[in-house]
Amino acid sequence: MGDFFDDLLKKIFPPRAGNQSLSVKENFLVKEKDLHDLEAWNTSEESKTLYDLVYRNYHYKRAQINESPEVHVFSSVYANGFALSFGPPLDSNSFSLLFLGLSRRIIALGYEQVSLDRKLEEVNEQVKETEKFYFKPPLQLPKEGELISQLYGNISLEKIRINQQPSYFKLLASVYSDRLYYDAKPFDDLMDRLFERP
């Protein structure tokens, strides 16, 4: 039976020469069932506890304190963000719901979802799966002499799984450095808005 699956995999993914690695990318949509599951989960104590925990651990990390699940902070002139490592008390389901929940909260701030794609690639003999949302501030025509609001800049939200196991997700806000735009709002304000209780 194992030979059958090995043969099938070789037909689908023929052996590659040298260091050539496999990479597949596709666009996809969020399933209605996932949105219904999120809606139910958002009213649960578990969701409130996890949003509070991630928000708290983000601020702890900025004070050089590591708690579980571990948060990593990115800070530069043009991009700010955080990553959340998979770990207790998160399980695979709550990890995915938290990721999807943040995507809906970004949209609620007035952002437009530009894309959602999934990429599968072979990295060091492991399969890395990346799901990525990309959001932009709403397109607007400013009045003459006015600047355009960029809100918090463009936002990407990525969830990474290695060999079908959750690894981490990250959110990154990249600002425009263009004189046609107002300065981006502070990243801390974005964090406050994303993690406030509805």
How far apart are alpha carbons 70 and 114 in whole angstroms? 29
Domain assignment present for 5: no
Q: Looking at the 3D structure of the chain, how many domains does it have?
A: 1
Domain assignment present for 94: yes
Map residue 19 onto helix, strand or coil: coil
Q: Which amino acid is at 69?
A: P
pLDDT in tens, the chain (198 residues): 456 556 655 655 655 555 566 788 999 899 999 999 999 999 999 999 999 999 999 999 999 999 999 999 999 989 999 999 999 999 999 999 999 999 999 999 999 999 999 999 998 888 999 999 999 999 877 778 788 889 999 999 999 999 999 999 999 999 988 888 889 999 999 999 999 876
pLDDT at res. 110: 94
Domain assignment present for 8: no
Domain assignment present for 13: no
Strand pairing of 165-174 and 154-162? Answer: antiparallel
Domain assignment present for 144: yes
What's the pTM value of the predicted model, to 2 decimals? 0.86
With 0-12 / 13-18 / 19 or more C-beta atoms within 10 angstroms meaning exposed / middle / buried, residue 172 is middle
59: domain range? Answer: 22-195
Domain assignment present for 165: yes
Beta carbons of 69 and 88 less than 8 angstroms apart: yes
pLDDT at res. 139: 81
pLDDT at res. 130: 96
pLDDT at res. 2: 52
C-alpha dist (Å) from residue 68 to 8, 60, 61, 109: 41, 11, 11, 28
Distance of CA 129 to the CA centre of its chain: 12
Domain assignment present for 16: no
pLDDT at res. 97: 97
pLDDT at res. 11: 56
C-alpha dist (Å) from residue 41 to 38, 67, 84, 135, 191: 5, 24, 19, 23, 20
Domain assignment present for 140: yes
